Structure 1
Amino acid sequence: MTDTTTAPAHLADPGVRPHARPTRSIVNPATGEVIATVPEQGAADVDRAVATAKEAFETGPWPTMVRSKRARLLLTLADAIEANSARLYELETRNNGRPITETRAQLSRVPEWFRYNAGLLAAQRDAVLPGDGEYLTYQRRAPLGVCGIITPFNHPMLILARSLSAALATGNTVVVKPSELTPLTTLALVEILHAAGLPAGVVSVVTGSREAGERLTRHPDVAKITLTGGTEAGRSAALATAARFARVTAELGGKTPIVVFDDIDSVVAAQGAAFAAFVAAGQSCVAGSRFLVQRGSYDAFVDALATRADAIRIGDPAAPGTQLGPLISAAQRDKALRYVQIGLDEGARLVAGGTVPDLPGPLNQGFYLRPTVLADATNDMRIAQEEIFGPVATVVPFDTEADAIAMANDNRFALGAGVWTRDLARGHRVADRITAGMVWVNDHHRLEPSLPWGGVKESGLGKDAGTESFDDFTWIKTVVVRTAADDVDWYGQADPGRLN
């Protein structure tokens, strides 16, 4: 068993003896086994972590480091992450239950975010602004200061890297509050960064739950919060940061519509639908959870999706052949099961899954749910409107393109969307009319460091990744330099000319 109760150096207040603070047990969701214990930290620990980060920002070398040197160090950090990748894959799979094949595919890309932001830093150019008269006007970007990053349980390391790499590249210091359920790869990643040369105090981790997260969002010395989580948590963070005019980026809930037109082969569409709906056991804000299928191919699509769902291999996430792991907790599994029953009570038809699988040995104590498909739903049902966050797909028929667009937009969330069609003109047209921060055509879940990630409506505000995220970790200073040879004497001139 891994025991992290004795806090590493990057944890807040490492000098406190382990028995002097409460601890939290970290569970492997595949078996229910306790695999680690970490400090249960609270508001006082956040205060100490922020004070450390503030001191590192105000007196340490990181914010004032020569830009090219900081970019080179980011590349070194990326290499160090890559060298430790196998350990990180295994640890995250044990901690959040995602199959090792999925975890490897996702976490192998983490170094790309550090390299991308290192490239943005190396290529950054300050703007020279046009103006009248003998003046040189230019802009400089400066780091914000102490930034807080709050990450969820579903993709803890990737989501952290997405924001952390941009925050570090721009010279900020950071306090990270990972999900209380999945802190292990965050702790491991930050240890790797410090061992690779990241200066002391630049990144700290607070392993706590709600109290720690709320204090971090409200702390007067935190200049920006980046949060990925539920809509209510995002709303609280937005209100807390607005009170002191701090910045916030919030990637929140989703009920992703996937529009399937009848010009595409139903089996092909169902293969893509299964990936959209069931990867990460459906525990993704952009999971394809609401399939809007044109009536001409509706029955064939439902049959193909049910067949594909039933064939998905459920088992030990550490085994290479496993395609679906557990949900993060018994509570999350029970929530998904309640929604299945809600759907049946609303009149939907269960065509696949909906039950807990019977698995051998300790896996039977894990938090599994079979991939579930609920057909013959309507767009106003709760299963089509509310985020379930589990391997539960709802299928709704539609008739016309206009109907599909109206139904896709008829939801309080607007994070992601998908369109499946062989008519690429239609694909562009429908993607343009769907309200969502990201739209995929004939694919799903694809991302790059250069692609801004974030939604609208109740799915949040701001963007992670891309130049948008990089720039939002800085503030702009405009400098106006008078280059004229004569002196300024406004009151001594008969006609001083234009002011402003």
Structure 2
Amino acid sequence: MSTTTSSSPVHAQPVARPGRPVLDPATGAVVRTVPDSSLAEVDAAVARAGAAFLDGPWPSLTRTARGRLLLRAADTIEAAAEDLYRLETRNNGRPVTETRAQLSRVPEWFRYNAGLLAAQRDAVLPSDGPYLTYQRRAPLGVCGIITPFNHPLLILARSLSAALATGNTVVVKPSETTPLSTLAMAELLADAGIPDGVVNVVTGGREVGERLTGHPDIAKITLTGGTEAGRAAAVATAHRFARVTAELGGKTPIVVFDDIDPVAAAEGAAFAAFVAAGQSCVAGSRFLVQRASYDRFVTALAKRADAIRIGDPSDPATQLGPMVSAAQRDKVLALIEAGRAEGARVAAGGGVPELPAPFDGGFFVRPTVLADATMAMRVAREEIFGPVAVVVPFDDEADAIAKANDNRFGLGAGVWTRDLARGHRVADRIRAGMVWVNDHHRLEPSLPWGGIKESGTGRDAGTESFDDFTWLKTVVVRTAADDVDWYGSAAPGRLN
């Protein structure tokens, strides 16, 4: 397994070249430097993965043996959990309480896909006549996994565990801003016994991702990122008919009906807007609130936002960390100002917090509530990817559904109501890949994850992801004792 950013094996000396600084977004300080992989090194990583697939033991291992290694990987990751929590917190700025809650679940994905592997059955299909027809699933080959900065390890585990369980080899490209925990996990997988060449990591920016996506020997790309990156990946893979699973942007509507206590709904749904500092594709950035509850909801949400504790992500008392970069912070602040200019009212936040050194050098944005917004405003239509909740009133159920669907994205949605019939009814009519009722952002390894419209294509997690890392072969076996002679006197009477 190669876990370096050079084309050398893991124990070889890395090639000396300038590195890309990896920052602590809470302080702006450099944590370490990581070299950008050259395009030749990307090609070498794909070649290593290809050799491991064609000549290595991984695809030909028995299901039991491969599953046992996946379970050992889960145990190894779990044993290193505390170090992973703190490394990821320092690299992407999520509060350690959030990171611990999220990463403690990473081993579940490996165990789940090991379980699917053990339970996998080959289908026997009905056939007329003396035939036994069955299907087999085979691994695709070398798969590329491109992960984002916001949830590096969880999103990696979601795809990697399924790819490995089904016998593929992989090349992983983490975000150039948050590569550290991915490099650490690759080393843990090597420690668990995953063979050399099965998992390879390349680091760098856009050029590295484009090389991987367009590589002729990559059979499938799984990408989590922006819509334009997903569009480019779809075009690149289409040229060679490779598969692509893309989880892209979102503008998640949170629909709050007036049959629920608006204060309770605001306190519960605040998690949707502000978890991960809003840097999530399913962040609840569009709150659609029924008019009878609107004012009380805005007041309660603003109060909750103002009370969120901002600061050192490594402190368990901290509830909200920084943006991942200065560029991301500046983008969020610019969109807040655009909302203000269009007439939205800043009910909470709206700027940067005052923090002591060294956190005064971090990329923080205060939790912000933009009230009295309309669906025509940029802040109600564009993905902000920051701790900003835009609140828009609606009149009735039909109006709520129309406003919820009035967007180019379709990844997630939330519905808050005490009328469970209404909850089911509205969830059924919202055009999104994931809908939560009276909660948000809950996920399990068994739940397919993905969107529609410009939120992407395909699904991660669940049996859907497991199966999509394989191709299906149908085998037809003639079981009759007599010979086949189509052109003889006893020619068959049927041809399909």
TM-score (norm 2): 0.98
Q: 2:119 aligns with which of 99, 113, 123?
A: 123
Cα distance in 2 between the residues matched to 1:173 and 1:444: 34
Taking the TM superposition and a 5 Å limit, the aligned residue runs for 1:311-330 are 311-330=307-326
Residue-pair matches, total: 494
Cα distance in 1 between the residues matched to 2:476 and 2:113: 29
Q: Deviations over 1:441-477 (max 9, x none)?
A: 0000100000000000000000000000000000001
Taking the TM superposition and a 5 Å limit, the aligned residue runs for 1:261-276 are 261-276=257-272
Contact 2:5 2:35 in 1 (8 A): no
User: Could you say what secondary structure the match of 2:285 adopts?
Assistant: strand
Partner of 1:457: 453
Cα distance in 2 between the residues matched to 1:410 and 1:27: 37
Cα distance in 1 between the residues matched to 2:161 and 2:393: 42
Cα distance in 2 between the residues matched to 1:219 and 1:495: 48
Indicate yes or no: 2:138 matched with 1:142: yes
Q: Percentage identity across aligned positions? A: 78
User: Could you say what secondary structure the match of 1:297 adopts?
Assistant: helix
Q: 2:96 aligns with which of 96, 100, 104?
A: 100
Contact 2:5 2:37 in 1 (8 A): no
Contact 1:12 1:204 in 2 (8 A): no
Indicate yes or no: 2:396 matched with 1:410: no
Q: 2:155 aligns with which of 144, 153, 159?
A: 159
Partner of 2:251: 255
Letter in 2 for 1:430: V
Q: 2:57 aligns with which of 57, 61, 72?
A: 61
User: Could you say what secondary structure the match of 1:492 adopts?
Assistant: coil
Q: 1:200 aligns with which of 196, 204, 223?
A: 196
Which ranges of 4 or more aligned residues in structure 1 deviate by more than 2 Å? Answer: 7-12, 14-22, 493-496
Cα distance in 2 between the residues matched to 1:109 and 1:17: 34
Contact 1:136 1:483 in 2 (8 A): yes
Q: 1:349 aligns with which of 345, 349, 355?
A: 345
Aligned-residue offset at 1:271: 1.1
Root mean square deviation, CA, Å = 1.2
Partner of 2:8: 14
Aligned-residue offset at 1:493: 2.5
Cα distance in 2 between the residues matched to 1:299 and 1:242: 49
Contact 2:3 2:201 in 1 (8 A): no
Contact 2:91 2:178 in 1 (8 A): yes
* 1:393 to 1:460, Cα distance in 2 relative to 1, 3 A: same
Contact 1:10 1:201 in 2 (8 A): no
Cα distance in 1 between the residues matched to 2:134 and 2:197: 32
* 1:62 to 1:17, Cα distance in 2 relative to 1, 3 A: closer
Aligned-residue offset at 1:19: 6.1
Contact 1:12 1:205 in 2 (8 A): no
Cα distance in 1 between the residues matched to 2:352 and 2:489: 86
Q: Deviations over 1:63-97 (max 9, x none)?
A: 00011110111100000000000000000000000
Contact 2:3 2:186 in 1 (8 A): no
Partner of 1:471: 467
Partner of 1:178: 174
Q: 2:377 aligns with which of 344, 368, 381?
A: 381
Cα distance in 2 between the residues matched to 1:119 and 1:252: 28
Cα distance in 1 between the residues matched to 2:489 and 2:84: 70
Taking the TM superposition and a 5 Å limit, the aligned residue runs for 1:183-262 are 183-262=179-258
Contact 2:77 2:188 in 1 (8 A): yes
Contact 2:222 2:246 in 1 (8 A): yes
* 1:18 to 1:122, Cα distance in 2 relative to 1, 3 A: closer
Cα distance in 2 between the residues matched to 1:100 and 1:87: 11
Cα distance in 2 between the residues matched to 1:207 and 1:90: 21
Aligned-residue offset at 1:495: 4.9
Unaligned runs of 5+ in 2: none
Contact 2:6 2:14 in 1 (8 A): no
Indicate yes or no: 2:78 matched with 1:72: no
Partner of 1:446: 442
TM-score (norm 1): 0.97
